[in-house]
Amino acid sequence: MQGWVAASRSRRKAGKSPQACSMKNPMYEVASLLLEKLLLLANLKLCSEGPGAAEEEEKPASYYDTTYFKRGDLLEVPRTLFVHFGIYLGDNRVAHLMPDILPAFTDDQRQIQQVVTNKRLILGVLARTARIRVDTLEDFAYGGSILVNHMDQAFPSQALRDEEVARRAEKLVGATAYSLLWNNCEHFVTYCRYGSAVSFQTDKFCETVKMIIRDQRSVLASVLLGLASIVCLGLAPSTTLPTIIIPFFLWMAG
């Protein structure tokens, strides 16, 4: 037994030699430290929330009080980069326009009616295909807060009668073309509620693009990026032409 302890001590001493310590990778040590901190935080969160917390997070949000909404209401759900819109039809149903690639490949309504995944949505945007669909309030909001008829204050036209709004939305349910600038979910709801398809989000986006184009610093930045591409990739038509054409058009547009 004493011989085994002595041998293990000798191995530990050998492992702590200055040469071995000098060969330690500092990036490995930092990564190990961060991993330990993340595991510790995860354990603390699980302990504080209890064993059933993970199951509760997987459940869809079902705390929306449908008595607060009436048929024909315009619903807004603020997201990270945009606001999603829909028309409330009553009985916990919302009509809204969603980019979706799946209807281009199948007519199976059971598959199409499933919640649109991020992959389906992105591919739908790229393929410019969408669908005006009817979902539950929970699937529409996806856990976000809901604003009701918030656009009434900003829209110049008066809202139509609630029943007329809902009938317009129901009549448009089905496949439709999609355009990020000219036919999105905001165009759909403003047409249904106010009789005119307008998107304040896209108007603001276009104004931002105009400001960037008109800013003379954009010309300088494009020239510098073009020169950097020439230095890195060499003098070729693929690097020279963009370096000349893009600053020229920005200069003329500004």
Residues annotated as catalytic are: 185
97, two tokens = 């326009």
Question: What is the distance between the alpha carbons of residues 100 and 94, in angstroms, rounded to a whole number?
Answer: 17
Phi, psi of 76 (to 5 degrees): -125, 135
Contacts of 246 (CB under 8 A, 6+ apart): 222, 226
Q: If you search the block for the tokens 């595991």, which residue do you land on?
A: 39
- Residues 6 or more apart whose CB falls under 8 angstroms from that of 1 comprise none
Q: In the structure encoding, which two tokens stand for residue 165, read together?
A: 């709004």
At residue 231, φ and ψ (nearest 5 deg) are -65, -40
Query: Which one-letter DSSP state was computed for residue 70?
Result: -
Asked whether 73 and 82 are in contact (CB, 8 A), the reply is no
Output the DSSP codes for 112-123. HTSPPPHHHHHH
Q: Is 101 helix (H, G, I), strand (E, B) or coil?
A: coil
